[in-house]
Structure 1
């Protein structure tokens, strides 16, 4: 009997992976955009990015998720009503969870990427421009490889916390593994068993992530560590 609940939680674990990876993609895009805005030197972009990172980092993830999910639904329906539509729209929980978590961790990625770019000596970019490289080529050949190396520690922390934050999407109706573990524990009155199983799955995810990110760190640090030994 209990094996059926374990299989159900494993199915929810796949959904958790999907939410995590999709949210990470959104967070990286927003993080790069936010870092570029903060480093642009243009007051409107700097102010907008600063407000974004300040608000998101100052408000708890749970509160932001509920505000964005319910506020977004209400705002979208009001917008449709303003255009004369009689239809009401419910935001897909998976899409809402991905966009919300991505939006939240995009603020943290913004500061991670900004700090990594600032750690690169500006003379290297100026030298690339002197050799005739354009902004895009300079970013891809000079800035990005070094930015990855400097950003890996902060990126790793953000990613590990993002994975655990996916547990909050159960509050907006997404049946990921935390939600299913809670349902199983309620049905069997064995909460310790199923929540421990869910915790073990999260630990597997984070352990695999740490191994993969350490490999990335070694890959982008070739020659650097040898030179300092």
Structure 2
């Protein structure tokens, strides 16, 4: 019989924290990815160079090191700004910093996902839309974005799964996610040594539940953005 020794609420709260952290981080990464992909495909050499440096740096350095660099770097920058303005020093919350950090890190992966997807969009569709007099925004919203999403969804799904599991790294910032709260439950003196594996199994089960539900959602999105597109039988 499963016995969590009264720590169900602590683990549940950690699961909610992990979910919020994942969703907000992916929203930032998604937006940053769109900006980055647009910049790398633009005619601006300056923007291309800077976003090339950004994606190369992020993808070439381990996430845990980047997380610590961004986490402490953001606080140093904030301290410098407040000191320059003569304001009282502000301490960034672990949750806010964690969201920004994961968003910046995985924004690089979304940038490459969207860049490849934009390059896969049929140029004839774009030219036809412009020939009908659609504005640049209408071309993007009605033609480019839906077509791009169809090609990008596998990469988006993979990035989401990675971000969901990467939230475990935020426990290093003392944020009460699933991993941190599981450690708290295990460290309790009322938890028997032979039951510690139960807590790790519960934490793993929660991650598996989240990823399984995500797979269903991604399957629905794939059907939605593929509506009206004929599939090849070859």
TM-score, length basis structure 1 = 0.95
Q: What is the Cα deviation at residue 215 of structure 1? A: 1.0
- Render the CA deviation track for 1:49-87: whole Å, top value 9, x for unaligned: 1111111111111111111111211221122222233x2
Pairing of 1:52-91 with structure 2 (within 5 A): 52-85=54-87, 87-91=88-92
Match of residue 166 from structure 1: 167
User: 1:2 aligns to what SS in structure 2?
Assistant: coil
The answer to whether structure 1 residue 200 and structure 2 residue 205 are counterparts is: yes
Match of residue 53 from structure 2: 51
Residue range with higher mean Cα deviation, 23-32 or 74-83? 74-83
CA distance in 2 between partners of 1:132 and 1:61 (Å): 45
**Contact 1:182 1:191 survives alignment (8 Å):** no
Match of residue 109 from structure 1: 110
CA distance in 1 between partners of 2:4 and 2:121 (Å): 54
CA distance in 2 between partners of 1:78 and 1:24 (Å): 28
Match of residue 213 from structure 1: 218
Structure 2 unaligned segments of length 5 or more: list them: none
- Render the CA deviation track for 1:24-56: whole Å, top value 9, x for unaligned: 110110000000001112101111111111111
Runs of 4+ with >6 A deviation:
none
Match of residue 129 from structure 2: 128
Q: What is the Cα deviation at residue 3 of structure 1? A: 4.1
User: 2:89 aligns to what SS in structure 1?
Assistant: coil
**Contact 1:24 1:102 survives alignment (8 Å):** yes
TM-score, length basis structure 2 = 0.93
Structure 1 unaligned segments of length 5 or more: list them: none
**Contact 2:98 2:170 survives alignment (8 Å):** yes
Match of 1:20 among 1, 4, 22: 22
**Contact 2:28 2:107 survives alignment (8 Å):** yes
Pairing of 1:140-159 with structure 2 (within 5 A): 140-159=141-160
CA distance in 2 between partners of 1:122 and 1:228 (Å): 24
